[in-house]
Structure 1
Amino acid sequence: MTGPSFPAFGRGPELEPFWFLGGRARILIPGGMTDFRFSLMEFVHAVGHGPPHHVHEDEDAVWFVLEGEVAFFVGDRRHDLVAGQVAYGPRGVPHSYLVRSPEGARIGVLFSPACIEEFFRANGVPVADTGGLPPEFDQAMVMASSGPFHLRVTGTPPS
């Protein structure tokens, strides 16, 4: 039995890693490949990393802990997760996370609908352009570009 033909994922410039807020990111499935129904990204962070508390007005997020230990903060709740566990962040609800494991963490994130991956790409720096070292980042500048993506900061990173 054969089904409809879908594009194959796993190759192409979308998979090239880039630095975003001090961590490495990759767009594994861009929204354009799913009629903007969803996108899938991967983030790799060192211990102690956490983005500022923020809200996505347009997207739901599902975080998959692939390696390490991560505390997720969704609304007023904290979820301590290890590899193999997931967390859900509904649109409109403030959220953040904090990498707790000494070896860092690798997180997969599914966004639905897609398009927010373009915010990350627009504010990222290709790893190849930095010799493999994360560049300094200007968090205020990154957050200033978040308006068109209906993303707003609601607090500082967790600690």
Structure 2
Amino acid sequence: MSNPTPETDSRNDSEHYHVLGATLSITADAETTDGEYLVLDMLVPPMFENGLHTHEQSEVFHVIEGEARLHVDGRDQTLGPGTSGYVPGGEIHGFANEGEDVCRVIAVMTPGGAEGFFRAVGQPTADRSLPEPVEPTEEMLQSVFATGEQYGFEFLGPLPERAV
């Protein structure tokens, strides 16, 4: 095992990042999986959303705790503990925690490579705790969007209202 750095969890060498109010832990990346996939262990605060976006990677979301909204191709799916949702590569999608409790989600993206985006936009942190709540400014969002373009992400605005 390598020596832990401030942004590394000494138990398993996961890297932890605060990204717009959520905490993402990279538990496996392209380097450690021969480019096959990226695994993120995410703590998602209440009322967090990542907006509509696309990327080349396929993605699976698996909820461990809490409840999450997964919006894919104009349809909403509510994921609770023990349930998963799939996003084909290139599909317009978004993810949100619309509840009052923290949601813990495992996200797997394949092929790997998107970890560079999360490392570039995130603030390294020593542990998996959530940061203080943050209201993203337009400047913060534009920086995330510009960085995302370098990694094949296209951001398309907020999630639509849920159909009733």
The amino acid that maps onto 1:42 is D
Q: Answer whether contact 1:23 1:44 (CA < 8 A) is retained.
A: yes
TM-score, normalising length from structure 2?
Answer: 0.81
Decide whether the 8 Å contact of 1:54 with 1:153 is kept in 2.
Answer: yes
- Structure 2 unaligned spans of 5+: 1-10
Instruction: Answer whether contact 1:54 1:95 (CA < 8 A) is retained.
Output: yes
1:55-90 CA deviation, whole Å, 9 max, x = no partner? 01x200000011101110001111011010000011
Higher percent of residues as helix: 1
Say if 2:65 and 2:105, in contact at 8 Å, map to a contact too.
Answer: yes
Which deviations, in whole Å up to 9, do the C-alpha atoms of 1:102-131 show, x marking residues without a partner?
Answer: 2120110000000001100111102249x9
Aligned residue-pair number = 146
Structure 1 alignment gaps of length 5 or more: 1-9
Select the residue among 86, 90, 96 that pairs with 1:92.
Answer: 90
Match of 2:114? 116
Between the aligned partners of 2:131 and 2:96, the Cα distance in structure 1 is 21
- Equivalent of residue 102 in structure 2, options 99, 104, 109: 104
On the 8 A contact 1:97/1:158 being kept in 2, the answer is no
TM-score, reference length from structure 1: 0.84
- CA apart distance, 1:43: 1.2
1:135–1:82 distance in 2 versus 1, CA, 3 Å: closer
2:145 aligns to what SS in structure 1? helix
**1:70–1:148 Cα change, 3 Å:** same
Q: 1:152 corresponds to which letter in structure 2? A: E
- Aligned partner of 2:36 in structure 1 is 37
RMSD over equivalenced CA pairs, Å: 2.1
In structure 2, relative to structure 1, the CA distance for the partners of 1:19 and 1:84 (3 Å cut) is same
Q: 1:132 to 1:151 in 2, by over 3 A?
A: closer
**More off after superposition, 67-76 vs 95-104:** 95-104
Question: Would you say the 8 A contact 2:22–2:130 is kept in 1?
Answer: no
- Structure 1 66/132 Cα, relative in aligned 2: closer, same or farther at 3 Å? closer
**In the alignment, structure 1 residue 141 sits paired with structure 2 residue 143:** yes
Alignment-mate amino acid for residue 121 of structure 1: R
Q: Which amino acid aligns with 1:143?
A: F
